[in-house]
Amino acid sequence: MTSPATKSRRQQAQGPHSRLPAWARYLLSIAFGAILGAFAVQWFAEIVPGPHLDVDVRTSKPQKGNGVGCTFYWLVVTHKQAIDYAYLKIQLPNRISGYKIGYVGEAHFPDEGSVQWQGFELGRNSGGECDVIQAAVNNTIDIQSSVDGNIIVIHISKLSPHSAIVGLLATPDYSSSLSPSQKYFEGAYEYTILGQRVLRVVQFRDLGLKDTK
């Protein structure tokens, strides 16, 4: 016959969980498994290779024509897989006086020694400001941008696979708003894999200055 003291010690050793009914322990195990599974799926989504979003930045300084005294920055956003959202922030040494950004059917950099790029015209507008006079791009509601001095912020949503986004930024050489003059880039993008949203950092490549004749 078990004494009351022995029975009490057994209950203490078994702990409070042993006093839970079987159905409660079953529900707790399901909840714990669901939480653990969600963390495991998110962790796996983070390490599985996903889309890459790269931004090439190239600088151009015309040496003749009405673009003399202006600096233009060419942007090319490249990706091969669908991306849900992208955020880009670009800081330039001088005030941004004009820009155009959008989708194009075919994008490529000009050949060496030339600034010709189909659908683009660079120079000064009727007010004498450095500007992108025209650009054969389709700026849809999926691309939102704003300029504040020498900083441009771009929000892009619903990037289809293999779609090309290009842009041009125009700045006058004489209106430096930073001391010392410098460029700064930051950005992030999101995509969905295994039902999970993954956040990645945008890779910028500054290809430097190319004087144009």
> For 76-106, how does the pLDDT look when each residue is reduced to its tens digit (9 = 90+)?
888 888 889 999 999 999 999 999 998 875 5
Q: Identify which of 176, 72, 63, 183 has the alpha carbon closest to the alpha carbon of residue 133.
A: 72
Indicate the number of domains in the chain.
2
Task: Output the pLDDT for position 170.
Answer: 95
Burial of 32-44, coded b for 16+ CB within 10 Å and e otherwise, reads eeeeeeeeeeeee
> What pTM was computed for the model?
0.70
As separate numbers, helices (DSSP H) first and strands (DSSP E) second, the chain gives 2, 12
Q: CA 18 to CA 92: how far, in whole Å? A: 66
In percent, the amount of the chain with pLDDT more than 90 equals 30
Average pLDDT over residues 144-162: 90
CATH number at residue 91: 2.60.40
Say if residue 30 is in the same domain as residue 66: no
Say if residue 20 is in the same domain as residue 70: no
Say if residue 111 is in the same domain as residue 94: yes
Q: pLDDT-based confidence at 165, cuts 50/70/90?
A: confident
Say if residue 69 is in the same domain as residue 34: no
Say if residue 73 is in the same domain as residue 146: yes
Average pLDDT over residues 164-174: 88
Average pLDDT over residues 40-65: 74
Say if residue 25 is in the same domain as residue 79: no
What is residue 179's three-state secondary structure? coil
Task: Output the pLDDT for position 81.
Answer: 84
Say if residue 25 is in the same domain as residue 74: no
Say if residue 60 is in the same domain as residue 43: no
Strand-pair partners of 75: 57, 167
Say if residue 196 is in the same domain as residue 109: yes
If you ran DSSP here, which 8-state letter would residue 88 be given? E
Say if residue 115 is in the same domain as residue 207: yes
Say if residue 88 is in the same domain as residue 143: yes
Residue 36: domain span? 4-47
